Amino acid sequence: MMSEEVVRYSRRGPVAMVTMNRPRYRNAQNSAMTYALDAAFTRAVDDDEVAVIVLAGAGDHFSAGHDIGTPGRDVDASFDRRAVMWWDHIAKAGADRRYAREMEVYLGMCRRWREMPKPAVAMVQGACIAGGLMLAWVCDLIVAAEDAFFADPVLRMGIPGVEYFAHPWALGPRFAREVLFTGDRFDARRAYEVGMVNRVVPRAELEPATLALADRIAAMPAFGLALAKRAVNQCEDLMGMRAGMDSVFGLHHVAHAHNVEVTANPLAGMDAAAMKRARR
């Protein structure tokens, strides 16, 4: 598993390309990928030649979300933690274990990445589901191919949305409710209409259009970009995003704990196949 690079890194002029590389599993995000993403973003931030970071997914899909059942699922593995100051989850039990892990690898990492001082652009094709939304949302801009589709269907597991609860800010409260309550997919055009994505382009133009946008941004002064990014983030947080996420993270964990009490499984017994069946 580890011999395969789960994240690829390359540089094209002033643009760092960070590519999730588990195409066989629609780039399902395990912890190995989380820490590889963190290492790639750190490398891009530390490289003075890099002005803009593009986050991409190898293959036909951007991200199927968190790994809930591939052979590389590694929820019981220990990694060198760096998103939050908390104890390791693996020696703990119950909600203590789950809270520690999800605060680090999901909420904490996403917040850490959102605060990178260089602009990030998500380049999205195919599926961008649940945990995949978190990865796209932490980027400053999103360019979507016409074939991109989005959903957060975790309410089918009894869970009120993924850990990084940006839904009301990324989608607007009205559409956020529809997305959560139905679990339905929405396409790139709808995502554009509600302001969730910046550009919708034909699939063949996804990469050139994304790189052209990244190059335009890269021409701006680096410190100015960092300040502008921070300005928008700070205002989003003043609009309640950070505090909202903290409060909803508690609800998310009530749902996990309820599932364990009632079904003995934090995901209510739902795996990728069951989620697919439930969608029909």
| Chain positions contacting Zn ion, by CB under 5 A | 102
> In this chain, which residue has its C-beta nearest to Zn ion?
102
To Zn ion, the closest distance from the beta carbon of 61 in angstroms equals 21
Contact 162, 134 (CB under 8 A): yes
| Closest to Zn ion by CB, 120 or 270 | 270
| Closest to Zn ion by CB, 114 or 256 | 256
| Closest to Zn ion by CB, 72 or 131 | 131
| Closest to Zn ion by CB, 171 or 267 | 267
To Zn ion, the closest distance from the beta carbon of 252 in angstroms equals 6
| Closest to Zn ion by CB, 102 or 207 | 102
To Zn ion, the closest distance from the beta carbon of 101 in angstroms equals 9
Contact 197, 124 (CB under 8 A): yes
To Zn ion, the closest distance from the beta carbon of 52 in angstroms equals 31
To Zn ion, the closest distance from the beta carbon of 19 in angstroms equals 25
Residue by residue, what is the 3-state secondary structure of the chain? Answer: CCCCCCEEEEEECCEEEEEECCHHHCCCECHHHHHHHHHHHHHHHHCCCCCEEEEEECCCCCECCECCCCCCCCCCCCCCCCCCCCCCCCCCCHHHHHHHHHHHHHHHHHHHHHCCCCCEEEEECCEEECHHHHHHHCCCEEEEECCCEEECCHHHHCCCCCCCCCHHHHHCHHHHHHHHHHCCCEEHHHHHHCCCCCEEECHHHHHHHHHHHHHHHHCCCHHHHHHHHHHHHHHHHHCCHHHHHHHHHHHHHHHHHHHHHHHCCCCCCCCHHHHHHHHC
To Zn ion, the closest distance from the beta carbon of 58 in angstroms equals 25
To Zn ion, the closest distance from the beta carbon of 212 in angstroms equals 37
Contact 139, 55 (CB under 8 A): yes
To Zn ion, the closest distance from the beta carbon of 184 in angstroms equals 21
What CA–CA distance (Å, rounded) separates 73 from 67? Answer: 6
